[in-house]
Structure 1
Amino acid sequence: MNEEGRGPSAVSLLALIGEHRESIRAALDDEQHALLLTRLRALAAASPDKDMAVRRALQGVRHALRPLPFDHPARAALDGVRLVAAPPGPATVTEALALVDLLAAPESAPTADPTPAATLGDVTSGATLGDVTSGDDRTAADPLLREPALSTAEATARCGGAPPPELIRLPDPPRGDRFLEFQFPVGGGTPHPVVLKVNRLLLADIDPRGAASWWLGGNSWLGGTPASLLGRLPDHELVGAATTLVEGE
C-alpha cells in the first residue's frame, strides 16, 4: 500500500513491470509491447517537477497494460494505482527511465522469430509497421494506412496553417504523413474540437496508432465505433469514454 492507503504506488507498479517483464512480453503482441515502451519513454522523458505531466504520462502506461490478462500481477495491481493520491514524484520518472532500458534490451525480445523483434524496434523508434515494408505491400499490411486520410497539404489547407500536433498523423514515407479523415467534418472545415480534446487524452502526438485504434475500434460503452459516432453522440460522452480508458476509473 502507498502512504495514502490507496493501493500500490506508481513506483511499485513500475517495479512489477520490471519484475514480470518476460511474462508481460509473452502476453502482449508486438504492437501492444511497442505501445508500452512508447508510454514508458514518455514517462521517462517527463519533467519530474511537472506533476501533471508525470500523471498524464503514467496514465498512458496504465492504458498500455490493460491488454494483460486480469490475473497477471501487473494487471491486477493496475486499478489500485490512483493518480489522485500522493504525487508520483521524481522517483517515478527515474524508475521509468531504468525500465525502458530493461525492456528494450535485446534479451527482452522474443527469440523464436527474429522478424517481430526487428519490427518492434522500428515501431518504438517512431516508425510504424508500414515502414518496414514497401509500396502496396506496406499498405496491405497496415490497415490504418488503408483508412481514408488527407495528405499534409490537404490537412494544412483544412487547418488554415500547420496541422496541430493533436491530430493523428500516420507516417507513410512514399506518400508523406497521412491525417485520418474522420478527424475533419465531412465537406470541409477545421478539425472537430472534440477530436483534438480526445486525442490529447490519448496522447496522439506520442502514440498516433494507439489513438487511431481507439477511434476506429468498437467501443461497447459507446455502442459503436467512436469515429462513426462523431456528431451523433454529445461530445462529452466521447470525452468521458476516453477519460475512463486512460484513467482506469
Structure 2
Amino acid sequence: MNPGDGGTEVLDLIADHHDSIREHLTDEQYQSLLTRLRALADSVPDDTRAVRRALQRVRLGLVALPYGHPVREALDSVRLVATPAAGQPVVRRTVDLLTLITAAPAPPPDTAAIIAGVERRLLRAPALTATEVRGRLAGTEPPPDLIRLADPEHGDRYPEFQFPVGGGAPYQVVLEINGLLCADADPWGAADWWLSANAWLGGRRPAALLGDRADGELLDAAHVLVEGD
C-alpha cells in the first residue's frame, strides 16, 4: 500500500459498508462520525498535519463498531495519509462520500445536541480541577498532553484516570498515548477513547487498565488505531 492510500481507503470502507455502520452505531455515535467527516471535508488539503488529524478523528469515530465488523478488521491494515500529495484526494473523496450518504451537505440541526450529549457524558467521569492538578504537579502547569475538558459550569476539568489513585504525577503512558491521539487538539476524542469499551482490549475500557501492568497493551491498541499496524 502506498503511504497516501490509507486516507481514501478508510473513506472507501465507510462508503462500501455504510448501511452496516449505520446499523451498528447509535444515533449519537453516527452523528459524531458525520461531524468528524465534515471536519475532514473542510480541511485545507495542503495542510498535511490537519488532514491527518481529521482522518484520525474519523477513525476514532469507528471505534464503537463491534469486534468482528468488517470495517474494524480492515482498519488494522490501513495506514493513515502521510504525504502532502495525498491531502487533495482525501478531502475530495470525503466531500463525495458525504454527498453519497447524506441528503444535504449542511450539518443536521441536531448535530450540536449530539456533540453536547457526548461532552456531558465525558464530564460525568471523575475529574480534577486545575488547582488540584497543579497541586499534584508541585505547582507547575499541566503538560500539554494531559487531557483538559472545558466545563462551562465548573471550569477546566482533567479526567482523574490520568493520575495514579494514590496521587502524584500523571501516568507516563497516558501522556504518550494522549500525544498519539492528538489530545491537545481533540481532548474530547481522546477522552472518549480512554473511557469507552475497546474491542482491541477485549471490550475493556483503556482507562480501567491503567496501573495494571498493561502499558504495552494500551500502547499497542493506540498504535493500531492511529497507524493501522
Say whether residues 1:158 and 2:136 are aligned partners.
yes
Alignment partner for residue 165 of structure 2, among 186, 191, 197? 186
Which of 132, 142, 154 aligns to 1:175? It is: 154
Paired AA for residue 33 in structure 1: Y
* TM-score for both structures, normalised by structure 1: 0.64
Distance change >3 Å, CA 193–CA 78, structure 1 → 2: closer
Partner of 1:247: 227
Residue 94 (structure 1) aligned with residue 127 (structure 2) = no
| Equivalent residues of 1:11, 1:95 under 8 A apart | no
Q: CA deviation at 1:210?
A: 3.5
CA contact (8 A) 1:25 1:33 kept: yes
Find out whether 1:129 has 2:117 as its counterpart. yes
Could you tell me how far apart the structure 2 residues matched to 1:118 and 1:49 are? 29
Q: Name the CA shift for 1:66/1:181 in 2 (closer, same or farther; >3 Å).
A: closer
Task: Give 1:120's match in structure 2, choosing from 111, 134, 145.
Answer: 111
How far does the alpha carbon of each residue in 1:49-76 deviate from its partner, in whole angstroms, 9 at most, with x for none? 54x664454343233234457777x778
Q: Which has the higher contact order (CA 8 A, sep 6+)?
A: 2
Residues in 1 aligned to 2:10 and 2:118: alpha-carbon distance in whole angstroms: 32
Match of 1:45 among 43, 46, 52: 43
CA RMSD of superposed structures (Å): 4.3
Between the aligned partners of 1:152 and 1:96, the Cα distance in structure 2 is: 41
The whole-number CA distance in structure 2 between the counterparts of 1:123 and 1:89 is 31
What SS class does the counterpart of residue 225 from structure 2 fall into? helix
Percent identity between the aligned chains?
A: 48
- Shift in CA distance, 143/219, structure 1 to aligned 2, threshold 3 Å: same
Whether the 8 Å CA contact 2:41–2:91 is kept in 1: the answer is no
Matches within 5 A, 1:137-148: 142-148=120-126
Which structure: larger Rg? 1
How many Å separate the matches in 2 of 1:36 and 1:18?
A: 13
Secondary structure of 1:89's match?
Answer: helix
The runs of 5 or more residues in structure 1 that have no matched partner are: 111-116, 132-141
Structure 2 regions of 5+ residues with no counterpart? none
Indicate if the aligned counterparts of 1:48 and 1:93 stay in contact, CA closer than 8 A: no
For residues 121 and 200 of structure 1, what CA distance do their matches in structure 2 show? Answer: 27
Question: Which residue does 1:134 correspond to in 2?
Answer: none
TM-score by length of 2: 0.68
The one-letter amino acid paired with 2:170 is P
